[in-house]
Structure 1
Amino acid sequence: MNPTVKAFFDAATWTVSYVVYDQAGGHCALVDSVLDYDAKSGRTATRSADALLAFVSEQALTVQWILETHAHADHLSAAHYLREKVGGTIAIGAAITQVQKVFKGIFHLESEFQPDGGQFDHLLQDGEVFAIGKLQAQALSVPGHTPACMAFQVGDSVFVGDTLFMPDVGTARCDFPGGSAHNLYQSVRKLLSMPPDTRLFMCHDYPPPGRQPTWQCTVADQRAHNIHLHDGVTEAEFVSLRTRRDATLEMPVLILPAVQVNIRAGALPPAEDNGVAYLKIPLNAL
């Protein structure tokens, strides 16, 4: 069975969230949700997440899964908020523990924070099969952008996270802790070995001038036209290109707040004795 997919584009972070559902059974998964965050004021809001909830309500869907393709550096996850509102199991790749260990040190997090993945309800293993109602889904490990990146295959559709962008944008950066251009090459080849008409859904789109944001293509589109990894590009060529390009990129605007929240499954840090939760900004550390 193939899923029905509803996309929600957040223009502030160029992020695409998805409701992936089984029309026959009325069950769904929410993929890569967004918690709105105003960096100037430090205020959070739930407009983007509430749009997902409104659609879930309109369609009378039951949320089974709240899926994260990885610990995002460009937006805050709304997974914790969504679970409070509609239930569901928050899941991410099991290698999230590697990411948590690195960033616990970078942010000098409280001793109570354990980098064991326990903040999430379920840690997915590579190849693990799970159900969304009557749909069969599979978790696919696609490291490279981060060591914990997962893609989710549901029928004829694959939700690729940051591993791939639209063909005219290319592939994800690999210079975050634990990133590897060699691993990303292998991960992309794994995805592009699927049937040519497989639908690929991006987590972001950063369109070049003159194109409106879009987030769906096929394996055939990527193999023919991806500017970084079309057919014929060797691993050595890609690693050289990716390494040179990554050296020119600035850090994502929201990486410092986003990672602190996202390694907690979308929960804010614990409030201090004045009732306020705080995010840390490590000076001269990154």
Structure 2
Amino acid sequence: MKLFINGKTEVYGIFGYPVKHSKSPVFQTAAFQHLKINAVYLPFTVKPEDLERAVYGIRALSIKGVNITVPHKEEVLKYVNEVSEEVKYIGAANTIKNVDGYLKAYNTDAYGFIEGLREILAQIHNKRFLVIGAGGASRAVLYGLIKEGVQKIYLANRTLKKAHEIIQDFSNLNRFIKDIIVPVPLNDIETFLKDVDVIINTTSVGLNDKDKPLFDYDKIEKRHIVIDIIYKKTALLKKAEEKGCLWQDGLPMLLYQGAKAFEIWTGKKAPVDIMREILLK
């Protein structure tokens, strides 16, 4: 289907800095075209100092919805009218819906992670997890896992203070949170590998091929499921593949978070297979 722009074309997009590398415009526009929705999805380069004006621009220009990516996911909360439940816990938003100038913020990263995880793990609640990192991405992953009812998560980070802050922030989400999340020093990861089924890296370590490993990857066992939310086969994932593990990069999470955002905006079921096909190209 060819794209025709006219006076009824609705505008969606993504705010980020930088943002030219984003894969979202390609697969979101493909979804609009497949469902014959008269809409386009554009990347908007928004510098941090321009974020407030950019958000007001959503209202002024009647932009129907936007995704929010780094470095704006937390700061953008200052400029919206309402936030969803998951945003209150995660402390960050990646999706905004505009209804006649009223902006509501959502976070679809948690949903995206869990839906991606389901592709390689049918039963989630009865597994034990190691989550590496305590930043915004980690909080989305943790929120998703806790909502799924998992019973044990080892949370590894360089500074344990951040891990304890997450436990405190999530205390209203689950009253047993102190039993579920166990803070672990980053340099003690190998001690806990025997106790976990799933290893998840939420940090940026591995984005650069020269990055030092988070731990001794040779300690990974074939029984482990290994996930890295970076959109490439990192050194961690290469070792997991070498060991014969089930593994997954960040593309499924990207796909499903985008599909959920599409459904929030349009009220229509996202054509996930079409979006996946375009994304993989």
TM-score between both structures, scaled by the size of structure 2: 0.31
The structure carrying a bigger helix percent of its residues is 2
Larger radius of gyration: 2
TM-score between both structures, scaled by the size of structure 1: 0.31
